[in-house]
Amino acid sequence: MHKHVNGLDLMRVVAIAIVVFQHGALFFNLCYGTPVIWTKTGTIGVTLFFALSGYLIGGMLLDCGDSLRDFRAAGNFWLRRALRTLPNYYLFILVNVAFWYLFQRPRGYENPMRLIPRYAFFVQNFASKPFWFFAESWSLSVEEWFYLLFPLGLFLGLRLLKLPFGRLYWALAVLMILIPVTLRGWVLTPEEWQRGITQVVLYRPDSIAVGLVAVALSRQYPVVWSRLRIPAAVGGLAFLAASFCYMGVGDPDHSSVARTFLPLFVSLGCVLLLPWASTCSNLGGPAINAGIGALARWSYSMYLVNLMMSSTVLSHMQFHYGTAVGIASYVAACVGVSAAIYHGFEAPILRWRDRRIYPAAHPRRLLPLFL
């Protein structure tokens, strides 16, 4: 059993807070023409989630090691991941259909039903820009393909090629960085960048793979990892501040260097926060730790619900009761609804999963693959 790390919870809370802020800023930008720089914060928030996913899932895979050559071990890993992410995702496909019917259909939005098969199999943005429907799901698609393909590469390399696990892990992680960077450099045009093509699965695995590299380094050099936590965090914040300013006041649309390396630069800034976050066990006392931990658990549901809250709760309350009430209502709705979804829907599924499906690192307790 791994010790709970409150610093990683804080990193997740900061990530969702940035996304919630960005969607609120987007509303104010569209309605009142506020500075466009504030609508760029979401890029950093989502990339924080990506780096965390790579770090945490990479750690799980390192724990599994050579056991992933076993069909049951690999199957249990994927089944646990599926039960963590898919129920909420499919629930929110239905919620977004209902949202379209109640709020978007009267405004002339096209019927999204023809798009549902693509969303069901995470191909809505696999090789082309995302659709307008369930717009925030683009990042979930990136993560789900990562959860599938990287462990699949490990499974095939271990089982068919008989490669050593450590070398195979590093080779696949490096490939997941090099391939999307190369694709962005060769393929992306200014027009595609402006249309949101960097929200495409094929162009974003490096944002997660840097987390794979980080967790491997933390396991291989734990003393150095701990000693560098403060200077690395300072460097990471500097990276992110520079990236944010460039996205807001620079010209990434017309710079081939920016189109190629800016997503990786933001990812490196996020990863440099991990030495501090992964070694921080106390954020200031039991009450603060518990509060941050709760928000971290609700963050997945909050990510899925906050855009709707921006376009409904924030807009309604802002127009009728003023800006302060609108913002307060928006934040309260995001927190309250996500907490309700977590405790009423997400947590029961996770408790069932943890009782019945054991991690692949425990091969003696594996269930049959098709339980």
Token pair, residue 153, equals: 């590469």
CB 83 within 8 A of CB 357: yes
How do the domains of the chain map onto residue ranges? 10-365
Residues 258 and 187: beta-carbon distance below 8 Å: no
* Cβ contact 50:139 at 8 Å: yes
User: Which segments of the chain have a pLDDT < 50?
Assistant: 1, 363-371
pLDDT at 9: 97
Q: State pTM to two decimals.
A: 0.93
Determine the Cα–Cα distance for residues 219 and 217; give it in Å rounded to an integer.
5
pLDDT of 195: 65
Cβ-based burial of 198 (10 A; exposed 0-12, middle 13-18, buried ≥19): buried
pLDDT of residue 369: 32
Four-residue CA torsion sign, 311, 313, 319, 324 = negative
Which residues have a Cβ under 8 Å from the Cβ of 230 and sit 6 or more positions away? Answer: 276
What b/e sequence results for 293-308 when a residue is b if at least 16 CB atoms lie within 10 Å of its CB, and e otherwise? bbbbbbbbbbbbbbbb
Q: What is the pLDDT of residue 367?
A: 36
3-state secondary structure the chain: CCCCCHHHHHHHHHHHHHHHHHHHHHHHHHHHCCCHHHHHHHHHHHHHHHHHHHHHHHHHHHHHHHHHHCHHHHHHHHHHHHHHHHHHHHHHHHHHHHHHHHHHHHHCCCCCHHHHHHHHCCCCCCCCCCCCCCCCHHHHHHHHHHHHHHHHHHHHHHHCCCCCHHHHHHHHHHHHHHHHHHHHHHHCCHHHHHCCHHHCHHHCHHHHHHHHHHHHHHHHCHHHHHHCHHHHHHHHHHHHHHHHHHHHHCCHHHCHHHHHHHHHHHHHHHHCCHHHHCCCCCCCCHHHHHHHHHHHHHHHHHHHHHHHHHHHHHHHHHHHHCHHHHHHHHHHHHHHHHHHHHHHHHHHHHHHHHHHCCCCCCHHHCCCCCC
Computed from CA positions of residues 361, 48, 83, 71, in that sequence, does the dihedral angle turn out positive or negative? Answer: negative
Q: How far apart are CA 285 and CA 350, in angstroms?
A: 27
Report the distance separating Cα 262 and Cα 47, nearest Å: 11
Q: What is the pLDDT of residue 300?
A: 98
* Spatial distance between the Cα atoms of 206 and 212, rounded to a whole number of angstroms: 10
State CA 146 to chain mean position distance: 11
* Confidence at residue 2, expressed as pLDDT on a 0 to 100 scale: 59
User: What is d(CA 308, CA 194) in angstroms, rounded to the nearest whole number?
Assistant: 24
